[in-house]
Copies of this chain bind each other. A is one copy, B any other.
């Protein structure tokens, strides 16, 4: 009898472009849907329009994570905050970003004499340290220090393992006192009143694997991140250029498609999503092929694309 998990865990791309938007591509933004709760990762100009376009409920966004303070990763944020105001939002909203962003938000609220209709919690982060910045019932979010021209971090979303489940077939056979449940779910064996010892593995069902998603943009090729993201199910890694431009990539503190794939290979991730493409590339197929030569299970971040993290 499998341990069935109905939780949704998907990531949807809202923007796949590097700093300059193109007629086809918006700059960086993604929505992580964890069982209906939405986490917005970066929020470039036009993000709220993209959410409308793809039928995403803006209201369900509870937490926003901003990797760094280049405009192509946050210029849509203040507009979104004002739209929430106009929509009469009352639910809490949490922003995780470097502290300067709070000043940018507050200045624009002040200039327009706006007092928000909802509680806004600003959580300053230090992009240079690896730290769990959100820890709730089901998920942790951890910063991934990256190497960019401005202080910058990625985010690692890691589902918490579900507890063991007591096998229903055993519950039918034996009457177990409720007081024993927590101990068994935590891995303990069970000694029946008749003195029979049941090993934990005989009477429980293992939970499904806990899944994880890592977002790494913007960054130089950096093997330092590999230990932290090893084994993630889905990795988004920036690939601003193709490898023939790797000198240019390095100068601009960006990566190439080949380098992104190399990180995925070393980290043994499930799927690699590459994105943050320079506006110079109209056709992205050569970029995909470049990555696939190193890491076969690569996909292109394309506006609207939804990938399951499970």
Instruction: Decide yes or no whether A20 CB sits under 8 A from chain B.
Output: yes
CB of A75 within 8 A of CB of B71, answer: no
Contact of A22 with B52 at beta-carbon distance under 8 Å, contacts A46-B45, A111-B100 already known:
yes
Query: In whole angstroms, how far apart are the Cα atoms of A60 and B153 in the complex?
Result: 36
CB of A75 within 8 A of CB of B69, answer: no
Instruction: Decide yes or no whether A79 CB sits under 8 A from chain B.
Output: yes
Interface residues of A in 200-259 (CB under 8 A from B): none
| A interface bracket (residues with beta carbon within 8 Å of B) | 35 or more
CB of A19 within 8 A of CB of B49, answer: no
Contact of A79 with B49 at beta-carbon distance under 8 Å, contacts A70-B112, A104-B108, A108-B104 already known:
no
Q: State how many angstroms separate the Cβ of A220 from the closest Cβ of chain B.
A: 17
Interface residues of A in 95-116 (CB under 8 A from B): 100-101, 103-104, 107-108, 111-113
Instruction: Decide yes or no whether A6 CB sits under 8 A from chain B.
Output: no
Instruction: Decide yes or no whether A162 CB sits under 8 A from chain B.
Output: no
Q: State how many angstroms separate the Cβ of A72 from the closest Cβ of chain B.
A: 8
Interface residues of A in 66-109 (CB under 8 A from B): 69-72, 75-76, 78-79, 82-83, 86-87, 100-101, 103-104, 107-108
Q: State how many angstroms separate the Cβ of A54 from the closest Cβ of chain B.
A: 10
Given A75-B82, A104-B104, 5 more A-B residue pairs with CB atoms under 8 Å apart are: A19-B82, A20-B83, A21-B49, A46-B49, A72-B82
